Amino acid sequence: MARKVPKAANAERVQAKAGMLFCLPWILGLAIFYAYPLLSSIFYSFSAYNVVSPYKWVGLLNYQMLLKDKVFWIGISNTLIYAAMAVPLSALIGILLALLLNVKLPGRGIFRTVFYMPTLVPVVATSILWQWLLNPQFGVVNYLISLFGIQGPPWLGDPSWAKPSLVLMAQWTLGNAVIVYLAGLQDISRDFYEAADIDGAGTFQKSMHITLPLLTPVIFFNVVMSVINTLQVFTLPYALTLGTGKPANSLMFYSMYLYNNAFAYMKMGYASAMAWILFVIIIAFTLLLFRSSNNWVFYQDEG
C-alpha cells in the first residue's frame, strides 16, 4: 500500500519549486555574466590569448613579463599615489561638508541638493568642464588665483600637477559620500548631546568626543569604498587622456593600462594576469583596513 504524502509537505515542495523558478533568471545571470568570466580570467591569465586565435598555455609567463614591464610599475605607482592623496582628502572634505549641511539653517535642503547634483553629471561632460576650468591660459581657476597675485600652474599639462588636478576633480563628485555621512550624523542619538550639555561641554568638545567617534562606522565604510574605487580609477583619466596617460605617463593608471592591453593590444591573457594582481592588491588593502578598524571604529551599542 503506497504511503500518502501529507498535504503540507506537498505544498512546501510546490513553494520550493516556485521559488527556484523565480530565482532561476538571477542564478543564470550570475553564472553566465559573473562566475564564467571570473573562472575564465583565471585560466586565461596563464595563457597567451588574443580572442581571434586559439589560446596557448604559457604558465606563469604573463606574471613574469609583468614584473619586467616598466609601464606596469608606473601604473601601480600612479594608482597608489593617487589613492594616498584622494582617500584622506575625500574623507576630510566629505565629513566637513556633512557637518555643515547638518546644521539647521533655512534652505538646508537646497544646499544638500546642490552638493549632490555633480554626481549626476556624466563623466565625459565632467572631463570637458574641468579641462576648461583648469586651462592654464584662460581657465577660471587660474584666473581666480591670479587675483591674489599668484601665477597658476599648468595643471593637466604638467606631470607634477596632473594627479593633484585629478584629485581636485574627484572632490567635485563627493555627493554620494556626503549623503552617507549625513545619514550617519542623523543616526547619532540625541541623548549623548543632552548629557554633554548637562556636563557643560562646548561645540568643539561634543564634535571631538561624541560626533566623530560615533561617526567612525560610517567613516570606515566610506574609506573602504573609496580605497576600492580609487585603486580602480579609470573613467575620468581615460576620458581626459583618451587612454594615453599623458603627460609623460603621469595619468597612466593601472586600470587604464589593463584596458589598453585587453582591448587595444588584444593581449587578453596579459590583461587577465593584471586583473588578478589588482584583485590581490585591493584585497590586501581592504583586509588591512578591517584589521585596523578594531582600534578606531566605535559603535553606539558598545558597552
- pTM strictly above 0.85: yes
pLDDT at 19: 85
State the Cα–Cα distance between residues 36 and 34, nearest whole angstrom: 6
pLDDT number for residue 105? 81
pLDDT at position 4 is 55
Is residue 289 within 8 Å of 91, Cβ to Cβ?
no
The contacts of residue 273 (CB under 8 Å, 6+ apart) are 45, 46, 62, 63, 66
Q: How high is the pLDDT of residue 302?
A: 58
d(CA 82, CA 286): 17
Are the CB atoms for 207 and 196 separated by under 8 Å? Answer: no
Residue 7: per-residue pLDDT: 63
Within the chain, all domains assigned CATH 1.10.3720.10 are found at 61-296
Which residues of the chain carry a pLDDT beneath 70?
1-9, 301-303
Phi, psi of 252 (to 5 degrees): -85, 90
What per-residue confidence (pLDDT) applies to 266? 92
Distance CA 117, CA 176 (A): 10
CA dist., res. 42 & res. 36, Å (int): 10
Residues in the chain: 303
Mean pLDDT of the chain: 90
Read off the C-alpha cell for 260: 589598453
Q: Of the CATH numbers 1.10.3720.10, 3.90.1280.10, 1.10.10.350, 3.40.605.10, which one belongs to the domain with range 61-296?
A: 1.10.3720.10
DSSP string, the chain: -PPPPPHHHHHHHHHHHHHHHHHHHHHHHHIIIIIHHHHHHHHHTTEE--SSS--EE-TTHHHHHHHT-HHHHHHHHHHHHHHHHHHHHHHHHHHHHHHHHTS--TTHHHHHHHHHGGGGS-HHHHHHHHHHHT-TTT-HHHHHHHTTT-PPP-GGGSHHHHHHHHHHHHHTT-HHHHHHHHHHHHHS-HHHHHHHHHTT--HHHHIIIIIHHHHHHHHHHHHHHHHHHHTT--HHHHHHHTTS--STTTT--HHHHHHIIIIIS--HHHHHHHHHHHHHHHHHHHHHHHHHHHHH---TT--
Q: What is the pLDDT of residue 1?
A: 47
